[in-house]
Structure formats: C-alpha cells, structure tokens
A = this chain, B = another copy of it.
C-alpha cells in the first residue's frame, strides 16, 4: 500500500483487491457449504449463528443513518433498514432468514433467542455495530462495501446448496433472491459516496482499513463455525449442540 493519493478509480481498484484477497468466499467453511460437504447439523449451526448478524444489521444501519446530514441520504440508507425489517406486510430479510433457519430444521425461538450462538459470532457482529457507531461516517459507509462482493457468494451458495443438499428447497433459500438486486443497489451508492468523500490520503487509507475490518468480521464468523462444528469440532460451553442425526 503506497501513501499516494489515489484517483477515485484507483481507490475502487484497491477496494476490490481487498475483496479478492479477504472476502469470506475464500474461507474453507464457505467452500464446504457450497460444495455440499456439510452435514445438516453443520448447516443448522451456520444458519443459527448467521441470524445474529442478520438481526444486528438494522441496528448498525440505524446508528449510521442517525449521522447522515440530509433527508436524501437518510432515505437512501433507510431503504436498507426496510429491506431487513420489512414493512409489516411483506417479510424483510430477518424474517426470511428465520424461514431459512426453520427450513433447515431449527426451532424458531432458539434462533430468535440468540443464546446458543458462538462467542466468535457475538464478538464479531458486536464489533461491527460498535465500529459503525464509533468511527467516522466515511469509515462507517466504507465498512458496508463487502456488498460489492456479495452477489458472487450468494450465487455460489444458492446453486451449490440446491444441487448438493436434497433437504434444501428453493423456498428455504428465498432469503437470497431479493439480496441479488438489493446489494448492488446499496453498494453502488456506498461506493460512489466513498469515491467522492475520500479525498485525502488519510481518508483513503481509513476507507481501505474499514473494508479490511469488515472482511475480518465476516471471516471470523466462519472461523468460529469451522472450529466448533468442523475441526477440531470443539463446541464452546453454552453454544448450540446439534441433536444426533443421520
């Protein structure tokens, strides 16, 4: 990383290079998931833990929205919260994730309670919420930019899971369908914002560090799942223990 001022296009290229290296699409747990090499209990552990991330995103977005100065910018960000929380008639992302969790055999109340998630999940997700609350608005917006890379991982996940697990239906994975259009809409706006506002070397470095941080947040969640439910398979005290099943 040099300390020269990048052009907006150079900044975008540097952001995309971070994704190419650090996005959790490269994590072995993701590869096991989309290659069909996880058992149903392992997929349950993933769905259970990932719910805590889904359920925390609107809190993250609300604390960011509170600091956006114009109605136009706040409307843009408010759409993210509506996407996750729903409008009271059609279900939002959190409700759709609950359907996914139920679809893989989890009890709805166990998932909503979040008492059985891994410490790694709780600490990583809370770190994200705190980061967005405590850092500059520019860094907060930049930390959302993992959505630049999410259509690829979603496509891999959905096609891989449908073809490899006969107990997973398109209906169960309905969470992901709207995300394929929502995420690019969100990340287009955030990327343009970052390219416009990161106009000093210091700000550009902060933006790049924010995206690295966010990649760590996603990566760390899969580390925890791998450690607890794949190898060595040591489930921390208090965390979800799958029922014995075939």
Tell me the bound Cα distance from A184 to B124 in angstroms. 31
Copy tally for this chain in the complex stands at 2
Of B123, B124, B237, the residue contacting A21 (CB under 8 A) is B237
Whether A155 sits at the interface, judged by CB under 8 Å, is no
Q: Is the beta-carbon distance between B119 and A124 smaller than 8 angstroms? A: yes
Q: How far is the CB of A142 from chain B (nearest CB, A)?
A: 17
Whether A212 sits at the interface, judged by CB under 8 Å, is yes
Q: Mark A204-233, 1 if CB is under 8 A from B, else 0.
A: 000000001001110110011011100110
A215: B residues at CB distance < 8 A: 237
Q: Mark A163-193, 1 if CB is under 8 A from B, else 0.
A: 0000000000000000000000000000000
A/B interface sample: 13 pairs, CB < 8 A: A22-B237, A22-B238, A28-B234, A119-B223, A122-B127, A123-B123, A123-B216, A216-B236, A220-B224, A220-B236, A223-B224, A226-B227, A226-B232
- What are the nearest 4 A-B pairs in CB distance? A119-B216, A123-B123, A119-B220, A123-B127
